[in-house]
Amino acid sequence: MRWMVALCALRSSNVAMFLSIANGDAMDKNLILQQCDIIEQAVGVIRAQCVAPPRPPRPSPAIDRDAVIAAVVDSGVPDIDWRDRGEAPMGYCKGMGIAYALVFREWLQGNAFALKMAKAQTGDDSADALSWYNSNFVNLRMPNNEDGRNTLRHLFVLMYGLGMRESSGKFCEGRDQSADNVTADTAEAGLFQTSYDARYGCADITTLLQLYKSMPDDPQKVGPIFHEDVSCSSTDLQNYGSGDGAKFQYYQKMSPMLAVEACGVGMRMIGGDDGHWGPLRRKEAELKTEVDDLFAEVERIVENGEQA
């Protein structure tokens, strides 16, 4: 094989000379050249695999949470008067700032869930929240026609408004007491009132639950942040049914990042006008440019790796 590769390097102009010294091997010139073409194609494939694809810049392993929280406090976001909800609890303002920092860092590192959230709007109004809200985003000059950070950030701007409609920013919110959703599959829970039957349209929700079940409660330690200005009653903390449906309710409240990540991937697959969340179907979740500005500042903090 070594002499064959050498022969390929010489190509047709020197084949005759090489054959005369190749230990008397009697090989057809055309056959050799065919083999050379095959080898060169294989070498090209190997070289392509050896060259790493371009990646976004990697941030520092730790996020300066103090810097993120300071950015939240200094922004106009805590003062927003949400329709029919008033101002958000400070815990929600700070918690969502940290939550976006965590997911943005995951996107920088190529996390599969974050990459799915950051995909360009699909044009499928029935399924994709970004597509369904496209005209609303365009009116605010927040287009989502390309994969990347802007689309990810805008998704979280909409998610922020959804959380205010669904739970008034209360991370431990239990099921809707005015509804009859009391089975493990249908009982809503958490910031975005997601129920486990959402998995039928978004299988990633099942994958995320299994991941969080394998870790201690609140592995990112964001619970105390979301808890500021929020009280949780025994009714809020009650879970319904059994099995993974009940566990999904539990972990959304005890590990708020599960609620965030499940909502993020779900909004892209079951978040449209025929989707899982009523406030999205009815376009009741508000978009606020102040939230977009805040999350852009959070991106800067994460990328700069500001660590106290």
Whether 178 and 110 map to the same domain: the answer is: yes
Looking up tokens 């808890």 gives: 227
* DSSP string across 16-42: HHHHHHSTT----HHHHHHHHHHHHHH
Confidence (pLDDT) at 38:
64
Shared domain for 40 and 71, answered yes or no, is no
Q: Which position has the token pair 């022969």?
A: 7
Same-domain pairing of 98 and 151: yes
How confident is the model at residue 181, as a pLDDT? 81
pLDDT of residue 179: 76
Number of domains in the chain: 2
* 271 and 162 within one domain: yes
Phi/psi of residue 26, nearest 5 degrees: -100, 100
191 falls within a domain:
yes
Same domain? For 46 and 86 the reply is: no
Q: Are residues 33 and 72 in the same domain?
A: no
Token pair, residue 171, equals: 């991370």
Residue 60 within a domain: no
pLDDT in tens, the chain (308 residues): 444 444 344 444 444 444 444 444 445 656 665 665 666 665 555 444 444 444 444 444 689 999 999 999 999 999 999 999 999 999 999 999 999 999 999 999 999 999 999 999 999 999 999 999 999 999 999 999 999 999 999 999 999 999 999 999 999 999 887 778 889 999 999 999 999 999 999 999 999 999 999 999 999 999 999 999 999 999 999 999 999 999 999 999 999 999 999 999 999 999 999 999 999 999 999 999 999 999 999 999 999 874 43
Residue 58, domain member (yes or no) = no
Residue 25 domain-assigned (yes or no): yes
Asked if residue 139 and residue 15 are part of one domain, the reply reads: no
Residues 114 and 245 in one domain: yes
Can you give the residue range of the structural domain that contains 37? 2-50
> CA 32 to CA 164: how far, in whole Å?
70
Q: Which of 49, 204, 191 is nearest to 113 (CA)?
A: 204
Classified as helix, coil or strand, 194 is strand
Same domain flag for 87 and 155? yes
Check residue 177 and give its pLDDT: 78
Give pTM, 2 decimals. Answer: 0.80
Whether residue 144 contacts residue 134, with contact meaning beta carbons closer than 8 Å, is answered with yes
Q: Quick check: 175 and 187 in contact, CB under 8 A?
A: yes
